[in-house]
Structure 1
Amino acid sequence: MYVVSSQIIRALVHFLIAQGIAPAKLTAVLTTRARYLDESNYRFPVQDYEQLMSYAEQSLQCDHIGLKFGQSLKTQSWGLLGHIALVSESLAKVLLHAQKLNTLVRNIGTITLRSEGSLSYLTWQPNVDIQHHMVDELFSSWLSFAKHCCYNTAELALEKVQLRRLEPSSTSLRAYKAVFNCPIEFSANHNCLCFKSSLLTSPLHNANKDLEYLLAAQASTLVSEHDEINQLKAFITAHFPHVPTVDQAAYHLGFKKRSFQRYLHSQNCSYSQLVDELRKYHAKLMLQQKISVLEITSRLGFCEQSAFQRAFKRWYGCTPKKFLTYKPCQRQN
């Protein structure tokens, strides 16, 4: 199950209250999970983030609410990763830590950094279809961090921004231009910040190499504690079209069955949810690779094609055929 840290959700709730939304309305969105807002180790389902953002967009009539939230976000809201970022020696080191440790904040996407000549490209790609708000938050908060923590802020400038979302209204478009201050490509193939590679060596104000090392070691331990979910996903995927039983999965991870179920509950998910999410993810990938619906049905272990068709419509709101032909619905993340 894809999750977001309680620090991010708590910061989002406080931000939305400051924007004028009644606390009771936000509590209603989170339902019973609202009581976990102050528990630093709790991880909220990513759907909670999505629903809060959707409610805020409708209530405030603001399509760029993610941009505004990202600009307001304090680095400490990234949890341990934020503390490491603040004492790192350069932007390059910050991004290296972010690539390794971003699952401590949210496990729904992948950060990649590549350099080609004088330019570097920082991308964030979600593993599943989500709204554009999280990408907006990430990119604006990363840029805000760089501007506040680097010595040479005069040199901090983006060359280009690419976003998968559709082009927004004129009001929101002005907000995007004000934040990024560079050419912006909407309906792009990926979410990407392009900048001069020389910025990666920009030193940070509060660099502390010894503290950076200690905090990074602590964070690596925490990442390994969450790695069981990734191992479990790999185990299930490797056995498709057959789905391992709960007993088999528990044995693979070294758990007893009841301990395994308690562990999944602590991660805010169930075994059947994980299987469903993996089928959803791989169905989309295979469909985009032009694999036939009949073959996908077989590979993912569905008993018949109609069962797969029903599942696909539940996941994506349309049939596989319409999904491939209706491009805009695939551009919202």
Structure 2
Amino acid sequence: MEVDIARIQLLTQALDQRTNGTEVSDHILEKCNLTRETIAPSAIAYTAHQEAMFVRYACDALGDITFAAQTGLQFRSASSLTAYISKYSRDLRQVMENTSRFHKIIDPALMFSLRLAGNFATIEADWKDASFARYHRRTEFLLFTGLARMRALTQTNFFPIEIRFQHEVGDKKDSFQKLAGCPVVFGAERLEIAVAPSALDLPVPTYDPNLRAHLLEYGERVLAERRSPKQKLRAQVEGLITRSLPGTVINADEAAANLGMSPRTFARRLKDEGVSYRDIVDDLRCDLAQTFITNGMPLSEIAFSLGYSDQPAFSTAFKRWTGQAPSTFRGRLNFPKSP
């Protein structure tokens, strides 16, 4: 599952600037099985998972969960087919319609759609591979990148009505709102950017109808030839669990029923992938718990979100996963302790 190489080139450059050197970036690239050479301009793509991990590790290294969003706002241009289709579109409406159609070419994990609702319009994002919903820093990076691209294409500094994320960031909300220059909502029902309908009429100065028609034709051929990657069962299960949160984690039988399988077939298929349902639940809970702690959420709220009866039960599980108590993990991040 590959994404535009221009994004990690920007992320690496931004991290180098923040750390006044290349040592931190090089270390994180190595952790993501990347090197300076593999992301050099001759390269065209890397995996979505590598992007998600690079963004997470970079924010952790800086102790700044807004780094991804900050860097996303610096994104101006890309060399992908969808980027060129957008560049030669008539206005922002056409940009979003084309993005809805062709974005899967550059990021098969995520799809966009334009939705009109009365006195506002939304550019709504949906996870085709819901296992990526756990990577909050990458999600923030993508939406802030989208905002930067809309501004660059229209050559205006317009502000959305609202940017909405489904995850929570504790007391860090104001930092994201300050970056965006508009209200930023966390814990929303949908992942989306809401804009005034008039914003859809913002012209794209580089509009070229002939080039756009040619690129659209080519894009349709690429879509016709491209096969959607088949999701592993584990990824589908992670998506089901993520959607059942906060407060509840569906059991194995419910997951099997959702996927149209008998419990026995479900267990066998997971075993073929070398994993059990309990493994998936524990791994996802552990990963989300660390992200929620990094986001500054109170431990009691994290316990509820992950489906535990109380905070002590969550703390016991966290210590089993990581070898340390949640409060110890939080202390090492230099966050204030939650009540």
TM-score (norm 1): 0.70
1:294 — aligned with what?
A: 253
Q: Distance in 2 between matches of 1:324 and 1:42?
A: 41
Q: Report 1:16-55 matches (<5 A).
A: 16-20=15-19, 22-31=21-30, 32-34=33-35, 35-38=37-40, 43-55=45-57
Letter in 1 for 2:283: R
Pick the aligned partner of 1:136 from 137, 140, 143. Answer: 140
Q: Is the 8 A contact 2:70 2:179 kept in 1?
A: no
Identical columns (%)? 13
Letter in 2 for 1:310: D
Q: Report 1:300-319 matches (<5 A).
A: 301-303=266-268, 307-317=276-286
Letter in 1 for 2:55: M
Q: Secondary structure at the match of 1:122?
A: strand
CA 1:30 to 1:148, structure 2 compared with 1: closer, same or farther past 3 Å?
A: closer
2:162 — aligned with what?
A: 160
Q: State the Cα distance separating 1:209 from its structure 2 match.
A: 0.7
Q: Distance in 2 between matches of 1:322 and 1:178?
A: 27
Letter in 2 for 1:177: Q
Q: Distance in 2 between matches of 1:192 and 1:206?
A: 26
Letter in 1 for 2:159: A
1:121 — aligned with what?
A: 122
Q: Distance in 2 between matches of 1:177 and 1:285?
A: 25
CA 1:38 to 1:165, structure 2 compared with 1: closer, same or farther past 3 Å?
A: same
Gap runs ≥5 in structure 2: 257-261, 288-303, 315-339
Q: Which has the higher contact order (CA 8 A, sep 6+)?
A: 1
Q: Distance in 1 between matches of 2:109 and 2:16?
A: 25
Q: State the Cα distance separating 1:65 from its structure 2 match.
A: 0.9
Structure in which a larger fraction of residues adopt helix: 1
Q: State the Cα distance separating 1:120 from its structure 2 match.
A: 0.6
Determine whether 1:201 maps to 2:201. yes
Q: State the Cα distance separating 1:169 from its structure 2 match.
A: 4.2
Q: Is the 8 A contact 1:29 1:52 kept in 2?
A: yes
Q: Report 1:261-300 matches (<5 A).
A: 274-282=232-240, 284=242, 292-297=251-256, 298-299=262-263
Q: State the Cα distance separating 1:286 from its structure 2 match.
A: 7.4
Q: Secondary structure at the match of 1:113?
A: strand
Letter in 1 for 2:235: E
CA 1:283 to 1:57, structure 2 compared with 1: closer, same or farther past 3 Å?
A: closer
2:71 — aligned with what?
A: 69
Q: Is the 8 A contact 2:136 2:167 kept in 1?
A: yes
Q: Distance in 2 between matches of 1:322 and 1:183?
A: 24
Letter in 2 for 1:294: D
Q: Secondary structure at the match of 1:107?
A: coil
1:212 — aligned with what?
A: 212
Letter in 1 for 2:255: I
CA 1:24 to 1:224, structure 2 compared with 1: closer, same or farther past 3 Å?
A: farther
Letter in 2 for 1:277: A
1:191 — aligned with what?
A: 191
Q: State the Cα distance separating 1:290 from its structure 2 match.
A: 8.5
CA 1:167 to 1:228, structure 2 compared with 1: closer, same or farther past 3 Å?
A: closer
Q: Distance in 2 between matches of 1:28 and 1:95?
A: 37
Q: Is the 8 A contact 1:286 1:296 kept in 2?
A: no
CA 1:326 to 1:74, structure 2 compared with 1: closer, same or farther past 3 Å?
A: farther
Greater alpha carbon shift after TM alignment, 8-17 vs 303-312: 303-312
Q: Distance in 2 between matches of 1:206 and 1:89?
A: 8
Q: Distance in 2 between matches of 1:121 and 1:223?
A: 25
Q: Is the 8 A contact 2:76 2:152 kept in 1?
A: no
TM-score (norm 2): 0.69
Query: RMSD across aligned C-alpha pairs, in angstroms?
Result: 3.5
Q: Report 1:220-259 matches (<5 A).
A: 220-229=220-229, 232-233=230-231
Q: State the Cα distance separating 1:276 from its structure 2 match.
A: 2.9
Deviations 1:3-37 (A, max 9, x none): 43323222222222222264343333333432421
Q: Distance in 1 between matches of 2:54 and 2:110?
A: 19
Q: Is the 8 A contact 1:5 1:41 kept in 2?
A: no
Q: Secondary structure at the match of 1:98?
A: helix
Q: Secondary structure at the match of 1:301?
A: helix
Q: State the Cα distance separating 1:292 from its structure 2 match.
A: 4.9
Q: State the Cα distance separating 1:205 from its structure 2 match.
A: 0.9
1:248 — aligned with what?
A: none
Greater alpha carbon shift after TM alignment, 22-31 vs 47-56: 22-31
1:270 — aligned with what?
A: none
Q: State the Cα distance separating 1:284 from its structure 2 match.
A: 5.0
Q: Secondary structure at the match of 2:135?
A: coil
Q: State the Cα distance separating 1:192 from its structure 2 match.
A: 1.9
CA 1:138 to 1:294, structure 2 compared with 1: closer, same or farther past 3 Å?
A: closer
Q: State the Cα distance separating 1:188 from its structure 2 match.
A: 1.6
Letter in 1 for 2:266: G
Q: Distance in 1 between matches of 2:224 and 2:21?
A: 38
CA 1:326 to 1:65, structure 2 compared with 1: closer, same or farther past 3 Å?
A: farther
2:11 — aligned with what?
A: 12
Q: Is the 8 A contact 1:164 1:190 kept in 2?
A: yes
Gap runs ≥5 in structure 1: 234-273
